[in-house]
Amino acid sequence: MQFSILLHKRTSNPKVTLGPLTLMSASQVSSGKDRFALIPVTYSPDWNFKDHVATFSIEMILIHNIFIRSLNSVYHYAPFVKKEDETAFAGYCLTFTENVRVHNDMEEEIVFPFLQTKFDMGVNVEQHAKTTSGIRALEEYMNDVLSHKIAYDGDKVRELVEGFGDDLVEHLHDEVRSLLWQFKSLILILLDSDHFARTFSRI
């Protein structure tokens, strides 16, 4: 599925736009050497990140791409880690798993309950749950490496990442679409202003 989003810059001229921003499914995006596809976004110098309404989807894409880039780096470098760097790499992987967990927990504790009053957030929660065990398995393995309970194995790391990576990345792509549409609708419900109607009428 491919569609374009025209984001309006908050100015006196409602016709000023920041788009189009094209979103594609994870399977449609190819990065050549990376195992997992980033969410494509084209930078514009007109973006105003103080305007959270206008840049909501962009901010979400950038955050999600941090996770995908981290996952790609773990997958790429896992077989090449030197003996003296195994502990540091384990710490790097644990930073990744912790960031994803905190991000998901924040959404489920703060964002989703708020949106649930207007929308069904069940699919988003189910997608989180689908990746939880795989992320936890990588976390447990790296904790054992860090504490020297087991020997580091780069192939094992890639195997663990393969166990949840595709589901996680697909979710990160899908969530941009689902939360963007819900956010758009909620803004119209709560504020019902001409500005927001113009801003989101073309989404």
Chain segment 42-93, per-residue pLDDT in tens: 778 888 877 766 677 788 888 899 999 999 999 999 999 999 999 999 999 9
Average pLDDT over residues 104-115: 71
| Average pLDDT of the residues in 22-26 | 40
Question: What is the pLDDT, as a whole number, of residue 70?
Answer: 96
Is the model's pLDDT at 203 over the cut of 60?
A: no
Spell out where the chain has E strands: 2-5, 21-24
Nearest one of 176, 194, 127, 198 to 3, comparing CA atoms? 176
Cα–Cα distance, 73 to 112 (Å, whole number)? 29
- 81: its two tokens: 């880690």
Sign of the C-alpha dihedral computed for residues 24, 25, 27 and 30 taken in this order: positive
pLDDT for residue 37: 94
| pLDDT of res. 187 | 54
Tell me the pTM: 0.69
Locate 195 and state its tokens: 């500005």
Per-residue pLDDT, 28: 40
Q: Is the pLDDT of residue 200 over 50?
A: no
| Residue 37 token pair | 């596809």
- Position 182 scores a pLDDT of 56
Q: What confidence score (pLDDT) does residue 98 get?
A: 94
E-assigned strand segments in 6-162: 21-24
Is the link from the previous residue into 113 a cis peptide, with omega within 30 of 0? Answer: no
Residue 55's pLDDT is 76
% of the chain beyond a pLDDT of 70: 60
Tokens 């840049």 correspond to what residue? 55
Closest by CA position to 3, among listed 48, 56, 40, 45: 40
State residue 120's pLDDT score: 67
3-state secondary structure of 158: helix
Q: Which residue has the higher pLDDT, 27 or 45?
A: 45
Average pLDDT, the chain: 74
Residue-wise pLDDT tens digits, 123-167: 666 766 678 889 999 999 999 999 999 999 999 999 999 999 999
Which residues have a Cβ under 8 Å from the Cβ of 51 and sit 6 or more positions away? 9, 10
